[in-house]
Amino acid sequence: MDFDLPSEITAKLAELDAFIDAEIKPLERENIRFFDHRREWARTNWEDDGRPADDWRAVIAEMERRADAAGHLRLCLPESCGGQAAGNLMNAAIREHLAAKGLGLHNDLQDESSIVGNFPIVPAIDRFGSEAQRQYIEGIITGDNHLSFALTEPGHGSDATWLETRAVRDGDDWVISGMKRWNSQVGRAKANLVFARTSGNDGDARGITAFVVPTDAPGHEILYNHWTFNMPSDHAEVALKDVRVPDSAILHEEGRGLEIAMMFIHENRIRQAAGSAGAARYCIAEAVAYARERKVFGEALASRQAIQFPLAELHAECELIRNYVFRTAWKMDRADPATFSDEVSICNYMANNLVCRAADFAMQVHGGVGYSRHKPFEHIYRHHRRYKITEGSEEVQKRRIAHRLFEFGKGAAA
């Protein structure tokens, strides 16, 4: 058994580091207000319901353009999408590595933008989409024709098989009615991937269908944007009132939309875990460095066991988790993640829990300056705290682990 990352991955990490230094850091320095203590204020259009500011989005777009021109942005996408099908292990290693570099334009936490793009819905469109629907592949990657994702509802989040949004057939059309919450990036999308029950009973995995709904369709209405713990926010409340779409709007097959949702979720769960492990590693390293230089009562802060032991525990946990994340990502390249979804949940739950504790303790080690926005720990904490809820809450991850551990609940979706 070889536990080292393959040479092609370590070589790619070095290549990305060189690209960041040459192309991304200069752009970041030119727009430093988005990364220093002013970042939340500068990034947010407070007059447009807290959405990302246009000039902030423009900087991200330029970063992605440079990354795409260099062959990095699509690295982990299928070859049919202009990618290199680099796989889950490559993706996880990159996300962990980039997050461990700290706050920067190369891998921004808030927008989840990166020089190696995170496009979890693209493989599903590539696999299941019609020729007309495949236009959104390039549109998502470039941002010119974006497709948002509408699964969560006001009354239903992780319990996705209990959706109240309904779609009823009317001749060759479907009429969709319901509400969606946390409908991320719908404000800048040309279409919305809406999940609705078309048959079956509440709790059934079958009977949920995914529809590609134009955002300008009559009855599709963005009500307001949710302001969150980490601003800016792009998470809207959306109403669907008798929205009519043709049968061709279905992505994949009628009644099998949950397969797309689970494909999306598994892709994002492992990537969240990898990013969280990397961000935790960054927080721990920064806290160690500061503790070594900071003098208290005539001695280095690092000489105190009250500082040593918590950091030793966090470091040990980080090493275990990041290696388990890599192992699970390696398995995902070889088998259907649905067959070991409990392991993906272990990665997600443990890594997201770790990074919040690591960021919190890094603040504590740094004292008052750690609490300030002149350090990135509050930003890291506020972003990764979201991961303990999204793509299935921490409790749902534990539930999935328990299902496998006790061998019950087979067939339940989570």
Q: What residues act catalytically? A: 391
Distance CA 35, CA 373 (A): 10
Supply 186's token pair: 């719908």
Q: CB–CB of 207/198 below 8 Å?
A: yes
Report DSSP letters for 232-265, one per residue.
Answer: S--EEEEEEEEEEEEGGGEES-TTBHHHHHHHHH
Strand segments, DSSP code E, in 54-172 are 146-150, 166-170
Provide the terminal-to-terminal Cα distance of the chain, rounded to the nearest Å: 32
Distances (CA, A) of 85 to 71, 100, 117, 142, 306: 12, 23, 12, 18, 46
* DSSP type of residue 160: G
Q: SS3 of 85, please?
A: coil
Distance CA 334, CA 101 (A): 29
- Residues sharing a CB contact under 8 Å with residue 84, sequence separation 6 or more, in sequence order: 71, 74, 75, 76, 77
* DSSP type of residue 86: -
